[in-house]
Amino acid sequence: MAAIATAEACDSNAALLASGDLRVLQPIFQVYGQCRAFSGPIVTLKVFEDNVLVRELLETRGEGRVLVIDGGGSMRCALVGGNLGQLAQNMGWAGIVVNGCIRDIDEINGCDIGVRALASHPQKSNKRGIGEKHIPIHIAGALIRNGEWLYADSDGILVSKSELSI
């Protein structure tokens, strides 16, 4: 899949931006992983300081999708670490966006996927298995629905109701 530059996508899709069918996430995420630019259909997940469902989803075939995790913006523990980053790469996920923290940064930076997160935190999360999959989530000033498309590069992150073409 050819990478679409987010700036170019914004410039050439003014009508989609105006209608809300294309949204720009607030610039709150740090860039991690080998893939600085990535895109794919979105799988949504809402959890809080618990990464059991994160692992459960990443154990499925990614097929170029992007896992978008609403971790409530928690800065008290990490939802994704090096093992899950490697799992995501091995299972064919294009990327992971975490509204929360990750850890094992050096390991994640060695993975051939794109990762965005608020920050790093050394403490692991709880293991209760509580959360919701495939539901609308609200992060970084945007409503994100399962099945929409995410485009990320060094300039930012876009969410589109449908696949973009430039």
Binding residues for Mg(2+): 104
Distance CA 164, CA 132 (A): 27
Backbone angles phi, psi at 60, to 5 degrees: -90, 165
Residue list, annotated binding site: 81-84, 103-104
Residue list, annotated binding site for substrate: 81-84, 103
Q: Which residues contact 13 (CB under 8 A, 6 or more apart)?
A: 22, 164
Report the run of H or E that residue 79 belongs to, with start and end: strand 78-80
Distance CA 145, CA 137 (A): 7
